Amino acid sequence: MSQATAQGRGTGRGTAPQFWRDAALPFIEARQVADGSKVCYGKHTHETFSIGVITGGHSSYLNGSTRREIGLGAVVVVNPGAVHACNPLRDAAWSYRMLYLDVAWLHDLQCQLGFNPNVDLHAFHCTLSHNPQLFASFNRFYALLTAPQVPVLHKHSAAVLFFTQAQQWLHPAPLVLHEANDRLARAAELISAQCTDNLTLAQICAAADLSASYLIRAFKKRYGMTPHAFLLDRRIRFARGLLRRDAPLAEVALASGFADQAHFHRVFKQLSAATPGQYRGGI
């Protein structure tokens, strides 16, 4: 996985912005500032859809007709091309996180959720929210997205889930689920057969002939877990077979599709309530 985290320039140690991006997930970028007391913006626009949260302190917020002082728990929503700015109040400290999403990707997700595909991106009328569920969900997703060693499939699935939730909280969509049990079964069969491979969400969707949004929601409803969780479960099943034959732990980790032994150990213990060594030794 090609991943880059860049440190920007700032006036002090805490003011330098941190950027996250990954070539495997080109539709999304993240930015975080731990101390924005000296981070000032002129009025500007983005070609992306932007959503962010205030994680500490207070700032001014300008977005169209919205002009507010905002603080911890606020969620800002910026449509593509909207003139906006956030700035510190009297040089007071404030911190924030932002996500920048490719418009074509979001439009495709909206179409999957039931919006009219013949209309360009359905803009959000809500430019500021204090929904605690949206705030908490954003931060969980941000932490997962920017964490190292998390598989691309997990991050991609989490992106679909988060922005589906955000869409419902900010601008509800039809969310029509239809029965497609045979297609879901094809997805499950592919994951089971190729669980040790580095499967992508696109490959799973193609095998099932289902959209990512529908696949993730319907798959979890039918199998009780997301496609990524299902994949990890099948990898651990595969690993148990190798461990019963006393294979070396490092070899088992790689053969089962894990990037390293530490990740394998963590997932195995989580799903088996025992370490790989304990399981292999029968302790």
Better-predicted residue by pLDDT, 222 or 100: 100
Claim to verify: residue 154 and residue 224 sit in the same structural domain: no
Please say which residue of 139, 170, 201 terminates a domain: 170
| Confidence check: pLDDT of 281 > 90 | no
Instruction: Report residue 15's pLDDT band, with 50, 70 and 90 as the boundaries.
Output: low
Claim to verify: residue 140 and residue 227 sit in the same structural domain: no
| pLDDT at site 174 | 65
Please say which residue of 135, 153, 170 terminates a domain: 170
Claim to verify: residue 106 and residue 238 sit in the same structural domain: no
Residue written as token pair 């991006």:
21
- 51: which strand partners? 77, 99
Q: What is the extent of the structural domain holding 87? A: 3-170
Claim to verify: residue 140 and residue 164 sit in the same structural domain: yes
Claim to verify: residue 84 and residue 142 sit in the same structural domain: yes
What is the mean pLDDT of the segment spanning 97-124? 90
Claim to verify: residue 190 and residue 121 sit in the same structural domain: no
Claim to verify: residue 85 and residue 191 sit in the same structural domain: no
SS3 264: helix
Among candidate residues 17, 79, 84, the one with its CA nearest the CA of residue 44: 84
Q: Give tens-digit pLDDT for 192-241.
A: 999 999 999 999 999 999 999 889 988 988 888 899 999 999 999 999 99
Instruction: Report residue 8's pLDDT band, with 50, 70 and 90 as the boundaries.
Output: very low
Instruction: Report residue 10's pLDDT band, with 50, 70 and 90 as the boundaries.
Output: very low
| pLDDT at site 38 | 76
Q: Are 50 and 106 in contact (CB under 8 A)?
A: no
Please say which residue of 170, 197, 218 terminates a domain: 170
Which stretches of the chain are assigned E, i.e. beta strand?
3-7, 18-22, 28-33, 49-63, 66-71, 75-78, 84-88, 94-101, 128-129
Claim to verify: residue 122 and residue 238 sit in the same structural domain: no
For helices 201-208 and 181-193, angle between their N-to-C axes, nearest 10 degrees? 130
Q: What are the respective helix, strand and coil percentages of the chain, to the nearest 5?
A: 40, 20, 40
CATH of the domain at 246: 1.10.10.60
Lowest mean pLDDT among 71-85, 145-159, 175-189, 197-211: 175-189
Instruction: Report residue 28's pLDDT band, with 50, 70 and 90 as the boundaries.
Output: very high
CATH of the domain at 150: 2.60.120.10
Residue 47 φ/ψ, nearest 5 degrees: -80, -10
- The token pair that represents 36 in the structure block: 């924005």
Claim to verify: residue 156 and residue 114 sit in the same structural domain: yes
Give CA–CA dist 138/72, Å, rounded.
13
| Confidence check: pLDDT of 40 > 80 | no
pTM for the full predicted model? 0.79
Claim to verify: residue 119 and residue 151 sit in the same structural domain: yes
| Confidence check: pLDDT of 275 > 70 | yes
Give CA–CA dist 275/191, Å, rounded.
24
Claim to verify: residue 32 and residue 106 sit in the same structural domain: yes
Number of domains in the chain: 2
| pLDDT at site 178 | 60
Claim to verify: residue 38 and residue 115 sit in the same structural domain: yes
What is the mean pLDDT of the segment spanning 22-35? 95
